[in-house]
Chain A
């Protein structure tokens, strides 16, 4: 039997460079090209555009160069600040509740009990509905005059509420709709993680006398920590790019009560035709998402853990 140390030979030393080593790069080239064209190029263009005052319908060559004026304006713009605040509030409430509900339901339904599979199927239905349809469904449900919610509240003697016309109620409505749609996402990810846990560890903890609560808190949740972080990261990014549901449901109103940053950018770009300024705010959005993502990944990079394995 050969010595194990002899087996570990650096690849470069064993295999001199030849053309076939380009193979992997060749195969990922289409994906990289699509990424560059669809992601990197627009981001660079947005950055470029943020230095110009361009209006759709006019020749870009005629657009005046304004330097950092858009960025300076953005710093003092109360509306941008308000949109960031609304987005952060929205993210806090939706992600907290979705994580709590999603994880709880996954823990309850991971066991093969009667009817669990039917419930799981029903439960993930909102995920399959397109965001525009979700917006329309809930707009009609929340409608003050003809909505079902006010109808049933009326049946139990509660006055009709202007759900989408009152700042607090409208914010509640967008949070509620997001929770309805995205809790199943957390549920699916967590339940998949729970079912993949090695049974030996779980059995060992039981043998060691861990009660139900300790079993979850000290065994299961730490073991799916990387999955929870991925779910958190994906939801966080989703919050900053959420647009369709809010656009249909409230349009950002009343006032700017439900105007998330992404919707604010859209409104500035297309309603009021300030494309350069909207691009500058987009750059801010990218920076915010980058730092938030970086912070979460610093908490424990699941991809790195995987690589270490």
Chain B
């Protein structure tokens, strides 16, 4: 064999070995890459930092985390994602922003990764991820623009997603001889009874803007209300919506002092510090109540299904993770998301004090997690359409409903006129944004 032929053969063998090696380890190609991740400074994500370290150790892919207060994420992310070349490889968004992000072309559809044999883990099993979470956090398109449908596409995987359950103080309920409420009528009666006994009843978000709207929306769906009908006509002055607002006023009057100023953190803290008997909001309260640095009530909390009004309908919210359209390392970013949300990652999140997004994880971890069976039972009722995640939602949420509902809970003004005014303002926004253009056009014809 000549020297030249030997050299060529050696090079070919080396190349084959390298190629074989890269097939053997899907991460090797990206070793030394640094991913920049934008996510919220919340308990679930703090817990995930240990899992991120494990990811780096196993894959050789470095990760830098840019954690911000969750309502501050949007400005930062939009600014970053609208540059020609962004810094972020992975962004975690509050589900209500997904429509806006996609309408502005800021996100990468995940189908291009899920069709790549070298990237997608055959054992990933996306069907195991709770459907309501996946639809609510990750899917954009469909009939309404934010729900599944043939025109929809997947842009994100839920991570830190949630539905709502009722958390209550077992000791207080026992002392007061109160049964756990299963309907809204029972819940209202329990709130009155606790208040009359001098015990702040149900904590809630109530701060002007997004927070008070979120508090009200939790009751709107089960009480049968909606924001829009099927033709995008606002219906926030319907009898159901007004009833939800009346319930919100009852919450403020019978709950802990200061509800009018509570965001999610303050509302949760009131429950965790023993200043409220009930918490009806995200399931995240369960992990928080087990955390001794946050909670004084560990071991005293019971969980129940979100009470039913005219129908069962708990919230779907929280966060999903996706990849910006201008991300520098999109394939490695996909591997990162996949690692955190696969079955092993989801199980690890449970061990680290986070919240799972997979049905199998909920079913496999019943011991020590009283909330998991409740969550598993609640999920079929979780409503991915409990609020309209259209690009205009932020303006509707903050500027219109967030103002009207503040008036509801901070004054004794009649509720119907407040909601009538909000309905008119909402219609003006939809008009301005062209939602009635087709209807007007057809009517003219």
Task: Specify the chain A residue showing the minimal Cβ separation from B403.
Answer: A255
Residue of B106, B257, B395 near A145 (CB, 8 A) is: B257
Within 8 A of B (CB), among A122-171: 143-146, 150, 160, 162, 164-167
In Å, the complex CA distance between A254 and B211 comes to 12
Interface residues on chain B, number (Cβ under 8 Å): 31
Indicate whether A254 sits within 8 Å of B398 (C-beta atoms), given known contacts A162-B257, A165-B260: no
What CA separation (Å) do A254 and B82 show in the bound complex? 33
Q: Give residues of chain A (155-191) contacting chain B, Cβ–Cβ below 8 Å.
A: 160, 162, 164-167
Closest-by-CB residue of B relative to A267 is B398
Q: Interface centre among B270, B395, B410, by most A CB within 10 Å?
A: B410
Which of A146, A255, A273 is within 8 Å of B406, CB to CB? Answer: A255
Query: Could you tell me if B270 and A167 are in contact, using CB atoms closer than 8 angstroms?
Result: no
- Stretch of B73-81, B143-151, B152-160, B311-319 contacting A (4+ beta carbons < 8 Å): B73-81
| Complex interface: chain B residues within 8 A of A267 (CB) | 398-399
Once bound together, how far apart are the Cα atoms of A162 and B253, in whole Å? Answer: 12
**CA A283 to CA B75, docked complex, whole Å:** 22
Asked, given contacts A58-B104, A273-B395, A274-B395, whether A165 binds B259 with beta carbons under 8 Å apart, the answer is yes
The segment from B130-138, B163-171, B186-194, B201-209 found at the interface with A is: B201-209
A251–B208 contact, CB under 8 A? yes
Chain A residues, CB < 8 A from B208: 251-255
Q: Closest CB-CB distance, B114 to chain A, in whole Å? A: 25
In the complex, the answer to whether A167 meets B258 with C-beta atoms within 8 Å is no
Complex partner residue of B394 from A79, A253, A271, CB under 8 angstroms: A271
Interface centre among A146, A160, A252, A273 (most CB of B within 10 A): A273
User: Nearest Cβ in chain A — how far from B271, in angstroms?
Assistant: 11
Instruction: Return the contact of A255 from the options B101, B106, B259, B407 (Cβ within 8 A).
Output: B407
Residue of B nearest to A258 (CB): B208
* Interface membership of B275, Cβ < 8 A: yes
B residues 391-417 in Cβ contact with A at 8 Å: 394-395, 398-399, 403, 406-407, 410
For residue B256, CB closer than 8 A to chain A, the reply is: yes
Binary contact readout B37-57 vs A (1 if CB under 8 angstroms, 0 otherwise)? 000000000000000000000
**A251-B205 Cα distance, complex, nearest whole Å:** 14
Q: Is the CB of A145 within 8 A of B275?
A: yes
Is the beta-carbon distance between A165 and B261 smaller than 8 angstroms? yes
Chain A residue, CB-CB nearest to B259: A165
Q: Report if A196 contacts B (CB, 8 A).
A: no
Are B75 and A160 in touch, CB under 8 angstroms?
no
CA distance A255 to B273 in the complex (A): 27
**A273 — which chain B residues lie within 8 A by C-beta?**
100, 394-395
Contact A271 B209 (CB under 8 A): yes
- Count chain A residues whose beta carbon lies closer than 8 angstroms to a beta carbon of B: 28
Q: Is the CB of A143 within 8 A of B258?
A: yes
Most buried by A among B79, B209, B273: B209
Please pick, from B104, B209, B257, B273, the residue contacting A251 in the complex, using a CB distance under 8 A. B209
Name the residue on A nearest B429 (C-beta): A272
Residue of B104, B258, B406 with most partner-chain A CB within 10 A: B258
Query: Quick check: A256 and B403 within 8 Å, CB to CB?
Result: yes
Docked pose: A271 CA to B210 CA in angstroms: 10
Chain B residues in the interface with A (C-beta under 8 A): 75, 78-79, 81-82, 100-101, 104, 106, 206-209, 256-261, 266, 270, 273, 275, 394-395, 398-399, 403, 406-407, 410
- Interchain Cβ contacts under 8 Å between A and B, 14 examples: A56-B79, A57-B78, A57-B101, A143-B258, A145-B256, A145-B258, A145-B275, A146-B273, A162-B257, A164-B261, A254-B261, A255-B406, A255-B410, A274-B395
Knowing that A57-B104, A58-B104, A274-B395 touch, tell me 15 more A-B residue pairs with CB under 8 angstroms: A56-B82, A58-B82, A144-B261, A146-B273, A162-B261, A164-B261, A165-B258, A166-B410, A253-B207, A253-B209, A254-B208, A254-B260, A254-B261, A271-B399, A272-B398
Going nearest first, the 8 A-B pairs with the smallest beta carbon separation are: A165-B260, A253-B208, A144-B258, A272-B395, A57-B104, A57-B78, A57-B82, A165-B261
